Amino acid sequence: MKNDELKLRKKSFTIVEQACHEVQGFRKLYQDLEEKNVLSGQSKSTLNNYARKLAQLSLHFGKLPQHISEKELNRYLASLARQSKSPSLSDFKFSVYGLRYCYRLVGMNEKVVHLPQIKRANKLPVVLNREECRALFKAPELLKHRILLSLIYSAGLRAREASRLKIADIDSGRMMIHIRQSKYNKDRYVPLSLLVLDGLRKYYHACRPVEYLFNGNEPGVPLSVRGMQWALREGVKKCKLQKGITLHTLRHSYATHLLEEGMDIVSIKELLGHERIETTLVYLHVARPNRSNVFSPFDRLYDKAPRPQA
């Protein structure tokens, strides 16, 4: 009976809590990680991602990461890398990142050198065209979800920025949205769409949100990113879009459409809140050229080639 009770208790633990109970020294390591996360101003999600992978690793070996040999570690990481599905590749990536974070924290920089390098996939972002945007924004049944998706696109928001947005951050007098302490601990302002403001007013009078612009299950608690992802998935299914669409696709589409409409790349960088211009330059490879002298030579092979649609 005691064994069964122990199993049930283990199931109720998160993997980090389980490692704190079962691996000697892990609780102290987690506290040190948490303190460093706060002092460096990194997001809570960064800490959670690293801590889960370090807990998984520590439970697997029954000891702290700094006590695992290079040979044991390589075998473990290789088993993650061999798995072909994308969640497994994510496990591998965050395990390596978590180990780097841990080793630097405990002063074992020499171990960082021996960790595998993470190759970044050189992929261009998925972008919706304007017709797909219009279809997606009218697809959700709930007004709240229609306004949510429209707002994310209209202001180029990250998912967590939309989740934490408060009613007071919508400045209709100046037609601006105040995004507070986002990535890199930066505030920024972005223009508020007049059409979205009309929708926000209808939504506010219908739903009466409290404090946060988009409440979760309870007033005063923000809608989670997971809840926002669910709203997006339902909308995508309803309008039968075939592209691999995430909430970040709306941000990519915002930047690309601004570029196609003639906005300069530096202004787009500031609106997106990017730290480096190189991050923004990727949209130059995605945006459709709007110069009249850019065309495909194939169209000149035939006299009756159709003109491209705007």
Length of the chain in terms of residues written: 310
The predicted pLDDT at position 172 comes to: 95
Answer yes or no: is 306 within a domain.
Answer: no
pLDDT band at 12 (very low <50, low <70, confident <90, very high): very low
Q: 10 Å Cβ neighbour count for 109?
A: 10
The predicted pLDDT at position 304 comes to: 55
> What whole-number percentage of the chain has pLDDT above 90?
59
The enclosing H or E element of 171 equals: strand 170-171
> Taking each helix axis from N to C terminus, what angle separates 15-22 and 26-40, rounded to the nearest 10 degrees?
130
The predicted pLDDT at position 10 comes to: 45
Question: 186 and 92, same structural domain?
Answer: no
> Per-residue pLDDT for 13 more than 70?
no
Question: 278 and 137, same structural domain?
Answer: yes
For residues 171 and 178, the answer to whether their CB atoms sit within 8 Å is yes
Answer yes or no: is 122 within a domain.
Answer: no
Give the predicted TM-score (pTM) of the model. 0.67
Exposure string for 286-306, b = 16+ CB within 10 A, e = fewer: bbeeeeeeeeeeeeeeeeeee
The overall average pLDDT reported for the chain is 86
Question: 144 and 80, same structural domain?
Answer: no
Per-residue pLDDT tens over the stretch 143-167: 999 999 999 999 999 999 999 999 9
Fill in the DSSP letter of residue 293.
Answer: T
**How many domains does the chain divide into?**
2
The residue among 98 and 291 whose pLDDT is bigger is: 98
Give φ, ψ of 196 to 5 degrees.
-70, -35
Which range marks the domain in which residue 98 is found?
10-113
Residues marked as catalytic: 158, 183, 248, 251, 274, 283
Per-residue pLDDT tens over the stretch 173-211: 999 999 998 877 789 999 999 999 999 999 999 999 999
What is the CATH classification number for the domain harbouring 169? 1.10.443.10
